Amino acid sequence: MSKKVAIGVDIGGTLTKVGIVDREGNLYANTSFSTTMHQEFGDYLDELKQQIETLRGQLDFEHEVLGTGVGAPNANYYRGTIEHAANLLWKGIIPFVNEMKARFDVPTYITNDANAAAIGEMIYGKAADMKDFMVITLGTGLGSGIVSNGELIYGHDSQAGELGHVVIDPNGRYTGLGRRGGLEAYVSSTGLKRTVYFLLADRMDDSILRDVAYNDLHGEMIMDAAEKGDPIAQAAFDMTGRILGEQLANFTTFSHPEAYFLLGGLAKAGKWIFEPTQTHLEKNLLPFYQGKVKLLPSGMLDKNAAVLGAAALVWKQHEG
């Protein structure tokens, strides 16, 4: 009997990651290639097709591909498009799913990476038995995938779950798009770094981070510094976790999730981010939510979350 598999594709500004995954989350083959290698979208898709065929050739068992799931910036799930993505070469509205149809005889589903991560949490992670939860991805920005009543919330035009843009302070940090105070300017790998620089300006403590230029500073250095007892690094994590905890408490008044799952580079900082977040989440919850909302590392944190999340779209579609 041939084994059923799904193709997962994660399209980033720099790299496209591709893998073949089964229902249990086994990743049988995977690769990546430069997203910017092809100026023309058609050439890119031809490349993607060839990469997928190469991966399939590596499988030493009979298999049936059920579909292709794609995580991409500015993806519109309803229309199957990528629309005005600032981080990609292809401008305007790219009819992704339709163009895939011309090349593959299996269906393609597309959404943004945080939504794919939420579906991945249901299919491969820790949310298999949950009807109400959120995945918060903490990378360069803050992404979110929200599941209520067992279904991903896409919203009226597939743009729900943009919690990185919640304005937490109208006079706060610049956030891009001419705006100020968006959550991701504080809570993300970039936000953590900005907070280090805010604290270096605000406080007078010695810190090993005073020897690092902004463009050289990255999250792992801040975590290493925190581990070594650096007061600025530790305070930066505390402030990041406090703001995240306060905002997760706010988000709870919206959809009352059973759990928040943290994913992405900053989530890998472990206790440095989880402990202050947990403290300030619980402290800021309304009394009737207290003790009822879990904060957990994503079940995908040590896996190829991007490819698995994308592949999960296919299983979710098949299982309704």
User: Where does this chain touch a copy of itself (CB under 8 A) — which range of 42-50, 55-63, 165-173, 300-308?
Assistant: 165-173
Q: State how far the Cα of 94 lies from the Cα of 72, in Å rounded to an integer.
A: 11
Interface with a copy of itself (CB under 8 A), residue from 22, 47, 99, 162: 162
User: Where does this chain touch a copy of itself (CB under 8 A) — which range of 25-33, 113-121, 146-154, 204-212?
Assistant: 146-154
Binding residues for a copy of itself restricted to 92-121, rule: CB under 8 A? none
Q: 294: which strand partners?
A: 259
Rule CB under 8 A: say whether 91 interacts with a copy of itself: no
Contact call for residues 316 and 119 (beta carbons, < 8 A) = yes
Rule CB under 8 A: say whether 203 interacts with a copy of itself: no
Burial of 218: CB neighbours in 10 Å, binned 0-12, 13-18, 19+ = middle
User: Where does this chain touch a copy of itself (CB under 8 A) — which range of 119-127, 141-149, 200-208, 305-313?
Assistant: 141-149
Q: Contact letters (x/-) for a copy of itself, 267-296, by CB under 8 A?
A: -----------------x-xxxx--xx---
The count of residues interacting with a copy of itself (CB under 8 A) is 44
In this complex, which beta carbon is closest to a copy of itself, that of residue 57 or of residue 170?
170
In this complex, which beta carbon is closest to a copy of itself, that of residue 142 or of residue 222?
142
Tracing tokens 């202050």 back to the chain, one arrives at 276
Q: Is 281 left (phi over 0), alpha (psi -120 to 50) or beta?
A: alpha
In this complex, which beta carbon is closest to a copy of itself, that of residue 9 or of residue 248?
248
CB of 151 to a copy of itself, least distance (A): 5
Interface with a copy of itself (CB under 8 A), residue from 29, 89, 166, 301: 166
In this complex, which beta carbon is closest to a copy of itself, that of residue 174 or of residue 254?
254
Taking the CA atoms of residue 69, residue 75, residue 76 and residue 78 in that order, the dihedral angle to the nearest 10 degrees is: 0
In this complex, which beta carbon is closest to a copy of itself, that of residue 43 or of residue 169?
169
Interface with a copy of itself (CB under 8 A), residue from 250, 265, 275, 317: 250
Nearest Cα to Cα of residue 136 among 109, 167, 161, 111: 161
User: Where does this chain touch a copy of itself (CB under 8 A) — which range of 25-33, 102-110, 224-232, 243-251?
Assistant: 243-251
Contact call for residues 208 and 230 (beta carbons, < 8 A) = yes
CB of 135 to a copy of itself, least distance (A): 14
Rule CB under 8 A: say whether 155 interacts with a copy of itself: yes
CB atoms within 10 A of CB 156: 7
Rule CB under 8 A: say whether 210 interacts with a copy of itself: no
Could you tell me which residues come within 8 angstroms of residue 216 by beta carbon, excluding any fewer than 6 positions away?
A: none
CB of 20 to a copy of itself, least distance (A): 30
Nearest Cα to Cα of residue 1 among 65, 62, 60, 80: 62
Q: State how far the Cα of 207 lies from the Cα of 202, in Å rounded to an integer.
A: 13
Could you tell me which residues come within 8 angstroms of residue 249 by beta carbon, excluding any fewer than 6 positions away?
A: 280, 281, 283, 284, 285, 286, 289
- Alpha carbon 226 to chain centroid, angstroms: 24
Label each residue of 50-68 as H, E or C.
Answer: HHHHHHHHHCCCCEEEEEE
Amino acid making up residue 299? G
Tokens of 242: 């406090």
CB of 247 to a copy of itself, least distance (A): 9
Q: Which residues bind a copy of itself (CB under 8 A)?
A: 83-84, 130-132, 146, 148-149, 151, 153-167, 170, 177, 179, 246, 249-251, 253-258, 284, 286-289, 292-293
